[in-house]
Structure 1
Amino acid sequence: MESFHDEDFSSSVAWETGAPTPHDPPPSSNPPSSSAQPQAYSAYPHDASPGPGGPDLGRAGFGGAGADADAGTGAASAGPGGAAQGAGQAVHDVQVRDGKVELEGTSDTFVSYLVCAKTQLPSFSSKTPSARRRYHDFVFLRDALVKDFPACVVPPLPEKHRMEYVIGDRFSPEFIERRRVDLERFLQRIGRHPKLSRTSIYQAFLESSEWNVYKHKHHARATSTDESSSGVLDSLSDTLLNAFAKLKKPDERFVVIRQHLDSFEEGLTSLERLAGRSRTRMSDLSGDYEDLAVSVQGLGYLESGITEPLMRFERALVDFGAGVKDHSASASEGFLEHVHSLLAYSHAFKGVLKLRDQKQLDFEELSAYLSNVATERDRLAGGYGYGMGLSSYFKEKVESLRGGETDMSRAARLHRLDTKIKELQEAVLHAQETSSAFNDEVMAEHATFRATKRHEMKLLLGAFADGQIRMHKQSITAWDRTIPPLQRIYVEQ
């Protein structure tokens, strides 16, 4: 049976094996419920991928405080072949360049970057938008996207203070360059996202000359929406919210996706460990070549007849050792940074999966609570008192000793229970819609994540291979210049 990974770039990678085949039945879009078990699901279907827009997220409760109303309009479907198909990538050729230290010598010193991109979207004022932004602006963009689109996997940002970048001044050229690369990768991931790339906040980030004004308006709108949002879940939080609660009926689709993410992270961790070990060994090899060069130099001083060829050989050894060391250091740093970024990207996807589980848990807990309240109401209407259980028995006996329960108090309790049942029914319906919409959105995110992962793994491993080829070509050139003089050495028989 042909594996569904045959079309995936990462088909030969160990952490992508052992998954379901494309012949599995297609998943159901209905949310998990107490009446039906989730169907088996193949995480990587060949035939079609969920669209990026998903259901009406505003109705389902996904739109955040400053969510863009036009997000996802005209968005292309994210399929296995790329992050966006049909209409093409919304924003492409995103670059972050020209890191510049601003207000140098003051306490308000910061670094700004020139952000450039290309787009064909008519909503942009230019096909080549550009603007200068600082790191705090990138943080605001990501925080706003995470809040406004909780069902989307928003790419991570490089940490503000990472000692892995560089030891010393965070305004040094080395630190600025490494951060520039990570910020560029962050924006490129958003540009390949079929929904986030079409949001108004991303557009404003790329081209607005009044970005600070936009930030204040967005923050004010988010604050006012947060203050006005409330629902039955808020009033029942003490009853329902349980950090240790588990899903009664886990959806097999997302169980498979989580397993694939675990395997992917395990493979990246192994790759990171092997790359670090290779860097250490290459550094040791460079030292061995330098030691050999010293020995050859000493031999050249002793053998006066072949001093010049041996000195050339010694110089080739030194150049080869230095080239190996420099290439290993420069290549491994970028390689490890990209691997670390992919790990953080996978962690962000797991965060969305955790939030999806919470939506399903809200639906399950609300449904169970509604069932208990309905049972209590039926027992009370049937004249059975307060319900089942030892506490209910003692409570009923106490009421009987006090003179019994009046018809008026029973009617009042029935009215309160009817009101609560009505509220809970509306809350259960809303929770079911939210869970279903979240499921659809996460499935679309999985297709986008998979396409991005494949694209970046191809770039990552391709760049590593190209670097190895360049290093060995340089080595061949160095040795080619050295071999002819060595061949002219005459050795008496």
Structure 2
Amino acid sequence: MKLFKPFNLDSFLGEAYILGASKVTATDSDYIHIIETNDGITWAPNPQPYSCVVASPKKESKLKGLKSFIAYQLTPSLNNIQVSRRYKHFDWLHERLVEKFCIIPIPPLPDKQISGRYEEQFIERRRLQLQSFVSRVSNHPILSRSDVWLHFLTCTDAKRWKSGKRKAEKDEVIGAAIFSVVQVPEKALDPLQLDSQTEAFGRFVQSFDTAVRTMQSNFAEQVKRQQGPYKRDYQRIGQSFRTLSTAMELLETAPLTRALAHTADTYDQIALLCEDQPRLDFEPMGDLLHDYRGLLASFPDIITVHKGALQKRRELERSATEGKTESNVVIRAQQRTDVVSYTLLAEMSYFHQERVRDYNAAAKIFLQEQIAYYQKIVDHLQSTLSQYKDV
């Protein structure tokens, strides 16, 4: 799982930003805006929202067939022009996003896998996981507008792709420097209230992370059981009815043996349903839990960054009361600390909004698929029961 790499406020860049000594070269597209609405502090929305579809994975090769890989076709609604990307391209992109946006949890990529990576079922599962990653980035009001992401999403020319990669890898607005391009409301924030809010959020993240890990483990175990012992149990039940039917054929009438044989076939069908079902309910929920494990893993470091900013602010305020630091230096440091605070509050707000939407939708789909699964079993059993009416 790709994890978050924070910057350290005690490092040169972080402290330089709080003290106002850092200078970066930024373009208009680098600037990030935070606004205050009736719903609180949020990222300014993307004025041109869009979506992107990941589809048609294809097995391709190079070096005259010596090296094979899977290429995924991405079509953004921005221009409806398809681009082809390999997993290694996603991996490169993820590293750039993590490096650039220390203030935002970057969604994790699906885990790398060597064995079975060309199997149809694995390819489709990975496509769905990459679709989740792409959708999360496309929906985020800040990530969706970043130059490196738009380059990844829209570049179709090989030369421009390489030059764009070099440009992204030389980007100066990364790590702590990102705060220099954040535009926030003029309203000063209350440090004590911030402490309370972030402490509560930190406790929530810890509790939520524990719940997500437990659920992910339980669901993964359920998948193994349904595709292993549960499937075999249904097959054994079916075999038991089949053996009984065969034994009775010597003396029993045909209607009963046919009904018993039909029952055996029914349990074989239920075994197949049991094996296939996780693809529709437990695995999609597991993929969501994977996403949230990655997102939640980032927040403790983001909160630590914020605490470091507040600590530096307090140090300067104490220094000013002792006459060691000029008041105008403290005022500017307070304003820059507020920038760090605003970014945390904006991302907290966005995270909560997405969390409610994601888990509401996922729980509904999970329950609908569970109902459909058990209804199929009931239908099979009722059909089988009808075979005994004429016995």
Q: Normalised by the shorter chain, which TM-score bucket? A: 0.7 to 0.9
Report the 3-state secondary structure (helix = DSSP H, G, I; strand = E; otherwise coil) of the residue aligned with 2:29.
coil
**Which residue number corresponds to residue 337 of structure 1?**
287
Q: Tell which deviates more after alignment, 139-148 or 466-475.
A: 139-148
CA distances 1:23-76 after superposition (whole Å, capped 9, x unpaired): xxxxxxxxxxxxxxxxxxxxxxxxxxxxxxxxxx99989997767635556x99
Contact 1:157 1:186 in 2 (8 A): yes
CA distances 1:149-170 after superposition (whole Å, capped 9, x unpaired): 32233322234x35xxxx7143
Deviation for aligned residue 1:315: 0.8
- Percent identical residues: 19
Letter in 1 for 2:199: V
Change (3 A) 1:341 1:78: farther
Deviation for aligned residue 1:212: 2.2
**Which residue number corresponds to residue 55 of structure 2?**
97
Within a 5 Å distance, the mapping from 1:168-247 to structure 2 comes to 168-209=115-156, 210-222=160-172
**Which residue number corresponds to residue 278 of structure 1?**
222
Q: Which residue of 452, 457, 479 corresponds with 2:381?
A: 479
Contact 1:65 1:148 in 2 (8 A): no
Change (3 A) 1:118 1:59: farther
- Partners of 1:316 and 1:463 lie apart in 2 by 26
- Partners of 1:468 and 1:461 lie apart in 2 by 10
**Which residue number corresponds to residue 152 of structure 1?**
104
Q: Which has the larger radius of gyration?
A: 1
Contact 1:293 1:315 in 2 (8 A): yes
Q: Which residue of 261, 276, 301 corresponds with 2:246?
A: 301
Contact 1:316 1:482 in 2 (8 A): yes
Letter in 1 for 2:243: G
Contact 1:77 1:86 in 2 (8 A): no
Deviation for aligned residue 1:437: 0.8
Deviation for aligned residue 1:251: 0.7
Within a 5 Å distance, the mapping from 1:404-415 to structure 2 comes to none
- Partners of 1:336 and 1:61 lie apart in 2 by 45
Contact 1:320 1:475 in 2 (8 A): yes
Contact 1:99 1:113 in 2 (8 A): yes
Letter in 1 for 2:130: L
Contact 1:65 1:221 in 2 (8 A): no
- Are 1:69 and 2:69 an aligned pair? no
Which consecutive unaligned segments of at least 5 residues does structure 2 have? 1-16, 178-190
- Partners of 1:58 and 1:140 lie apart in 2 by 30
Within a 5 Å distance, the mapping from 1:84-123 to structure 2 comes to 90-92=49-51, 94-104=52-62, 109-119=68-78
Letter in 1 for 2:90: F
Q: Tell which deviates more after alignment, 437-446 or 171-180.
A: 171-180
**Which residue number corresponds to residue 352 of structure 1?**
302
Report the 3-state secondary structure (helix = DSSP H, G, I; strand = E; otherwise coil) of the residue aligned with 1:488.
coil
Which consecutive unaligned segments of at least 5 residues does structure 1 have? 1-56, 120-125, 230-246, 375-420
CA distances 1:175-198 after superposition (whole Å, capped 9, x unpaired): 433332222211211222122222
CA distances 1:93-133 after superposition (whole Å, capped 9, x unpaired): x22122233334666644322111224xxxxxx3x243222
**Which residue number corresponds to residue 289 of structure 1?**
234
Contact 1:289 1:321 in 2 (8 A): yes
- Partners of 1:132 and 1:200 lie apart in 2 by 18
Change (3 A) 1:274 1:169: closer
- Partners of 1:482 and 1:118 lie apart in 2 by 49
Contact 1:114 1:133 in 2 (8 A): yes
Q: How many pairs align?
A: 349
- Partners of 2:364 and 2:266 lie apart in 1 by 28
**Which residue number corresponds to residue 188 of structure 2?**
none
- Partners of 1:158 and 1:292 lie apart in 2 by 37
Contact 1:287 1:321 in 2 (8 A): yes
**Which residue number corresponds to residue 197 of structure 2?**
253
CA distances 1:326-366 after superposition (whole Å, capped 9, x unpaired): 21466433332321221111112333222222222332344
Q: Tell which deviates more after alignment, 326-335 or 466-475.
A: 326-335
Deviation for aligned residue 1:277: 4.3
Contact 2:43 2:346 in 1 (8 A): no
Change (3 A) 1:155 1:250: same
TM-score by length of 1: 0.61
- Partners of 1:79 and 1:139 lie apart in 2 by 38
- Partners of 1:62 and 1:471 lie apart in 2 by 59
Change (3 A) 1:298 1:112: closer
Letter in 2 for 1:217: K
Letter in 2 for 1:203: L
Deviation for aligned residue 1:459: 2.9
**Which residue number corresponds to residue 82 of structure 2?**
130
